[in-house]
Structure 1
Amino acid sequence: MIQREQTRRIPIHSSLLRPHLLAGGERALTMLNATFAAVLIFGVETIPAILTGIVVFILVQTILVMMAKRDPQMFDTYKRHIHHKRFYPAQAWLHAIRREPRV
């Protein structure tokens, strides 16, 4: 009898696939938000500054959570995006002499 070749399955833990979020938002942005709120709260130490720091933290964190629900890696994608040029001219190789287009 010929034995069928079984498909090999390797279990991957779900924590390896999930994005690393902090309080529902991206880690770097959440830490930046918390740092800004802490500076505002502990740096000025007045009642209006404390209330403003708390309100700003809650509002910005809510926006970060909404962004993370839409795309958990949105900030990393944006960071890569800003490094690209607007236009890449066609050239034969990387160090080719750049020529302006004829009009």
Structure 2
Amino acid sequence: MALRTIPIRRAGNRDNLFMGGDRELVMFSGLLAFALIFSAQELRATVVGFVLWFGSLFVLRIMAKSDPKLRFVYLRHRRYKSFYPARSTPFRDNTTSQGNQYK
């Protein structure tokens, strides 16, 4: 008897991208540029807002092209400590609190 195959459709398995970049980051950078342009209402602020928008869109597209889930990788990386001391020795005496954290 042959195994039953179920096709996985591309539409249900795509990453959540908007305009080629991460959806939330693209929308947030657009919101910041929009707020800058319309709150200042100056030509200089308009130019800076457009440069901010197109520059961030360019960077976010490159980021999504290398890895669509790079934002989550970066956020997980930020939770790590900068240094984890080595503790793999048979002569180490564990305190009670250290032993209780593994129960």
TM over 0.5, shorter chain: yes
Q: CA RMSD of the aligned region, Å? A: 1.9
The total of aligned residue pairs comes to 91
Identity %: 31
Aligned to 1:82, the other structure's residue is in SS state helix
Structure 2 regions of 5+ residues with no counterpart?
89-93
- Aligned position for 2:84: 87
- Aligned position for 1:100: none
Give matches, 1:17-96, under 5 Å.
17-85=13-81, 86-87=83-84, 90=87, 95-96=97-98
Give TM-score scaled by structure 2 length: 0.78
Q: Distance in 1 between matches of 2:51 and 2:79?
A: 33
Give TM-score scaled by structure 1 length: 0.78
Structure 1 regions of 5+ residues with no counterpart?
98-103
Q: Distance in 1 between matches of 2:47 and 2:69?
A: 30
More helix by share: 2
Higher normalized contact order (CA 8 Å, seq sep 6+, divided by chain length): 2
